């Protein structure tokens, strides 16, 4: 941009969808608020307009703050018009007047980072809680803990069993992160470690939670299976249901029931799919914990971050790096598990290092799994290696389809055939819901020829032409699969919940699974916001798994198509993964990372005093 910026100019940007209406509104309001506190130079005013717009714009893209060195490319501003550090500092004097007596700064500037005040406070609150909770050497434990852990994780091998280390860490750290890709044993480990904690204290009050209803339901099921496999002592103390985080914290339109003045009534809380937790939710969760409540996060640091702003899990894991820990903590873990931990001692440790364990060995995807090999290659951005996996006939479970072929359509018809048959036969709703989980089409974008809306229309037409679904030109027809897109606490449906339209007792009903594994039948008119779900975006698929996944990417690469997005899509598949993507888009996707600006990582690294 070469001409000076004015709010009128931003209005034009907003009207042509370059920025969001809310970005323009914030810039306009900033100028209004600023004018109450005296006049500034036109240059300062321009810097203020730009800063307000850019901070809001990056927030809409999941970034907690604006980093001056990473000015958003979409806001094409020539270097001479970029705000200077001095101007930013002066921007801090702009305040929001909530009442005559009460004003608070609109922005907080920290070096090169500019935050909206509220987000700065969330970040500070998370940081403060982590500093208070992570303990350099861990909490004291009973003498029996080592014996219990060695029974639960028997036969020390030559190589360190990181599941045993993760369990020991979570038993002695008030806050702990266990990260790992699919099938690395996060659920198995947490089930065993809960058994160990319950052996220490049979009255321990445990809660299980996840960010979405779908993820909570999956956690319930995984924990049930792990309990059944385990034959674990005190397994009765492990809950058989999981909450959504909103439900755990007692959210209502009036606010949260549990907060810094009324703590959650649990001694230990396990949160699965923690990569999906955004910064405001993380701040609420941490502040609602009693000082002695233990918190265990499970998640995959390499997955896409939350849809809303923040990438807290990845930030915590980045501050934990590899398996390095302090010598005192290594001795502690060694005594608990029987492993020699001397090889992983690091002199310089961040505060998170003694509280984060990464599981690397996948027990689901062995050496011969194409899905596992592809996920690893994509994660490393190794395009050539990923291509080899996709082309190697030995890896039949990870296959690339030619862009101009109609092959994907044949797979879609096959993928949904069994599901459609069950609909036609009027099979039990449980079977139908199970059949729907067998296959899923994933896309990266909302609009365009390979966007979610158009792809759903194409799939409906395909299934109709194949004689598998009828009446697909109607809004509601038997077999229409929908996904809820907004939490509705009154109806009890949550973002990501999947429902299927059926004829039930002579009525049109949409069937959902509830958190306890039962069924709910609702009339279509009662549903909160929803959309057709034969295809869904990769973002919406987080927290779900399917037997087979088909990923459709557009020919032309777009900024949202990153390595993390492709990795998340691949790791939704349990048995089969197909993707249709052109070379250029594939290469660029694997070479692009999702950038998430935040001050958390640096702050966690800089606080070494406690260690
Ligand atoms: N140490 C182990 N030895 C053998 N099998 C294991 C081990 N740990 C886990 N498994 C098996 O690997 C599979 C995946 O384990 P689990 O569900 O605990 O992984 P996860 O990391 O929670 O997976 P997801 O990311 O899908 O939630 C299960 O069948 C489990 O029994």
- Over the stretch 485-540, which tens digit does the pLDDT of each residue have? 887 878 888 888 899 999 888 889 999 987 667 899 999 999 999 999 999 999 99
Nearest CA owner, ligand 1 atom 9: 185
Q: Tell how strand 356-359 and strand 175-180 pair up.
A: parallel
What pLDDT, on the 0 to 100 scale, is given for residue 53?
Answer: 81
Atom in ligand 1 nearest the alpha carbon of residue 362: 12
User: Half-sphere exposure of residue 136, counting CA atoms within 13 Å on the CB side?
Assistant: 10
Query: Domains in the chain, start-ordered, CATH in brackets?
Result: 7-116 (1.10.10.1020), 133-362 (3.40.50.300), 370-591 (3.40.50.300)
Contact between 355 and 138 under an 8 Å Cβ cutoff? The reply is no
- Establish whether residue 182 lines the binding site of ligand 1, counting it when its CB lies within 6 angstroms of any ligand atom: yes
What pLDDT, on the 0 to 100 scale, is given for residue 38?
Answer: 56
C-alpha to C-alpha distance for 54 and 269, rounded to whole angstroms:
37
Give the E-state strand segments of 140-258 in sequence order.
175-180, 206-210, 243-244, 251-252, 255-256
What b/e string do you get for 89-108 counting C-beta neighbours within 10 Å, with b at 16 or more? Answer: ebbeebbeeeeeeeeebbbb
C-alpha to C-alpha distance for 30 and 53, rounded to whole angstroms:
9
C-alpha to C-alpha distance for 428 and 405, rounded to whole angstroms:
36
What pLDDT, on the 0 to 100 scale, is given for residue 599?
Answer: 83
SS3 content of the chain, % helix, strand, coil (to 5): 40, 20, 40
- Establish whether residue 222 lines the binding site of ligand 1, counting it when its CB lies within 6 angstroms of any ligand atom: yes
C-alpha to C-alpha distance for 323 and 179, rounded to whole angstroms:
12
CA of 189 from ligand 1 middle (Å) equals 8
C-alpha to C-alpha distance for 332 and 330, rounded to whole angstroms:
5
Q: DSSP string covering 275-297, please?
A: GG--HHHHHHHHHTS-TT-EEEE
Backbone angles phi, psi at 533, to 5 degrees: -125, 20
- Residues 106-119 pLDDT 10s: 778 888 888 888 89
What pLDDT, on the 0 to 100 scale, is given for residue 37?
Answer: 56
Contact between 337 and 151 under an 8 Å Cβ cutoff? The reply is no
**Cα 121 to Cα 27, 256, 376, distances in angstroms:** 21, 18, 36
C-alpha to C-alpha distance for 539 and 531, rounded to whole angstroms:
14
ipTM score here? Answer: 0.98
Instruction: Please identify every stretch of the chain with a pLDDT value under 50, giving residue numbers as ranges.
Output: 1-3, 609-611
- Establish whether residue 364 lines the binding site of ligand 1, counting it when its CB lies within 6 angstroms of any ligand atom: yes
* Pocket mutation for ligand 1, best pick of 185, 210, 222, 365 (most atoms within 8 Å of C-beta): 185
Contact between 14 and 20 under an 8 Å Cβ cutoff? The reply is yes
Quote the crossing angle between the two packed helices 383-391 and 583-591, to the nearest 10°: 130
Helix (H) or strand (E) holding 219: helix 213-230
Helix (H) or strand (E) holding 432: helix 429-436
Q: What is the CA radius of gyration of the chain?
A: 25
- Establish whether residue 186 lines the binding site of ligand 1, counting it when its CB lies within 6 angstroms of any ligand atom: yes
CA of 137 from ligand 1 middle (Å) equals 28
- Establish whether residue 229 lines the binding site of ligand 1, counting it when its CB lies within 6 angstroms of any ligand atom: yes
Nearest CA owner, ligand 1 atom 1: 185
What pLDDT, on the 0 to 100 scale, is given for residue 57?
Answer: 86
């Amino acid at each position: 941009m070469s001409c000076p910026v004015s709010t009128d100019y931003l209005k034009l940007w907003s009207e042509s969808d370059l920025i969001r209406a809310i970005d323009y509104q914030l810039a306009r309001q900033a100028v209004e608020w600023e004018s109450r506190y005296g006049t500034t130079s036109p240059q300062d005013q321009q810097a203020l307009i730009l800063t307000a717009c850019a901070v809001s714009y990056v927030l809409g893209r999941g970034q907690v703050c604006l980093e001056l060195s990473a000015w958003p490319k979409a806001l094409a501003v020539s270097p001479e018009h970029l705000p200077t550090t001095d101007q930013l500092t002066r921007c801090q004097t702009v305040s929001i007047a909530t009442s005559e007596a009460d004003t608070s700064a609109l922005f907080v500037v920290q070096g090169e980072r500019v935050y909206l005040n509220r987000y700065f406070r969330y970040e500070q609150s998370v940081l403060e809680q982590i500093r208070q909770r992570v303990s350099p050497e861990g909490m004291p434990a009973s003498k029996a803990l080592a014996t219990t852990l060695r029974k639960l994780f028997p036969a020390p091998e030559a190589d360190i069993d990181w599941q045993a280390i993760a369990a020991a860490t979570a038993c002695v750290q008030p806050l702990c992160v266990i990260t790992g890709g699919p099938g690395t044993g996060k659920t198995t480990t947490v089930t065993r470690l809960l058994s160990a904690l319950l052996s220490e204290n049979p009255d321990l009050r445990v809660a299980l939670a996840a960010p979405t209803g779908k993820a909570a339901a999956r956690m319930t099921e995984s924990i049930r299976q792990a309990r059944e496999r385990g034959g674990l002592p005190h397994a009765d103390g492990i809950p058989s249901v999981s909450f959504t985080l909103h439900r755990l914290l007692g959210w209502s339109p009036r606010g949260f029931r549990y907060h810094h003045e009324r703590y959650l009534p649990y001694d230990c809380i396990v949160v699965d799919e923690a990569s999906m937790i955004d910064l405001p939710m993380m701040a609420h969760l941490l502040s609602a914990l009693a000082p002695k409540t233990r918190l265990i996060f499970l998640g995959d640091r390499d997955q896409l971050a939350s849809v809303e702003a923040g990438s807290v899990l990845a930030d915590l894991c980045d501050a934990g790096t590899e398996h390095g820990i302090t010598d005192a903590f290594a001795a502690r873990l060694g005594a608990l598990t029987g492993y020699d931990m001397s090889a992983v001692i690091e002199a310089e440790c961040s505060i998170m290092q003694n509280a984060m364990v990464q599981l690397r060995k996948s027990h689901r995807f062995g050496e011969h799994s194409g899905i596992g090999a592809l996920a690893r290659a994509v994660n490393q951005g190794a395009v050539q290696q990923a291509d080899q996996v996709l082309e190697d006939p030995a890896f039949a479970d990870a296959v690339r389809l030619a862009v101009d072929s109609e092959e994907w359509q044949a797979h879609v018809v096959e993928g949904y055939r069994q599901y459609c048959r069950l609909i036609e036969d009027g099979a039990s709703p449980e079977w139908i819901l199970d059949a729907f989980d067998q296959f899923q089409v994933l896309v990266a974008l909302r609009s365009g020829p390979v966007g979610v809306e158009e792809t759903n229309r194409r799939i409906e037409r395909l299934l109709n032409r194949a004689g598998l679904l009828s009446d697909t030109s109607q809004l509601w027809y038997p077999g229409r699969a929908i996904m809820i897109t907004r939490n509705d606490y009154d109806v009890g449906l949550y973002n990501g919940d999947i429902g299927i339209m059926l004829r039930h007792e002579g009525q049109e009903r949409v069937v959902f699974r509830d958190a306890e594994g039962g069924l709910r039948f609702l009339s279509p008119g009662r549903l909160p916001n929803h959309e057709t779900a034969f295809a869904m975006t990769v973002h919406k698929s987080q927290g779900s798994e399917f037997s087979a996944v088909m990923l459709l990417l557009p020919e032309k690469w777009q900024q949202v198509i990153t390595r993390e997005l492709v990795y998340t899509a691949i790791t939704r598949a349990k048995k089969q993964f197909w993707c249709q993507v052109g070379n250029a888009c594939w290469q660029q996707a694997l070479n692009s990372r999702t950038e998430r600006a935040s001050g958390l990582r640096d702050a966690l690294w800089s606080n070494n005093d406690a260690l």
